[in-house]
Amino acid sequence: MLHKQIAGSFRSSVAGEGPLRLRLVSPGEERRPASAAPDLIAILSRRCSSFFAEAAVLVLVFGILDFFFQHGRVSLPWAAGALGISVALLLASVATDFHAGRWLGAHP
């Protein structure tokens, strides 16, 4: 899906079908084409953040299901490991979202 969006926006900008982007350039400033990196990072960071959050929930759900299938006989290290993995994935989700927001704010 993502590659179709990027290819479509590239084709429309090359063919001149897309909206024109005008920018004031001072006489000494070098002209550079606009980069698609911020848009790509915004899309990817939101998807990665969502992936980490969903993985954390799935770890907990499968852990609870396993607990019920074993009739309440789950060892303490196993339960602590599942909870630790879930918390680590949630922290990765928050960190990805936070750092992508800071990066995008610093690179307009």
Residue 4 Cα distances to 1, 7, 8, 95, 106, angstroms? 5, 5, 6, 28, 27
Q: Given the structure tokens 């909870």, which residue do they identify?
A: 83
**Torsion angles phi and psi, residue 107, rounded to 5:** -120, 80
Rounded to the nearest 10 degrees, the angle between the axes of helix 37-69 and helix 2-15 is 170
Residue spans of the domains in the chain: they are 35-108
Q: What average pLDDT does the structure give for the chain?
A: 75
Among the residue ranges 6-15, 28-37, 84-93, the one predicted with the least confidence is: 6-15
pLDDT at 25 over 80: no
pLDDT tens readout for residues 54-82: 999 998 888 888 878 877 777 788 888 88
pLDDT at 7 over 70: no
Of 91 and 70, the structure prediction assigns the larger pLDDT to: 91
Quote the percentage of the chain above a pLDDT of 90: 6
pLDDT at 85 over 80: yes
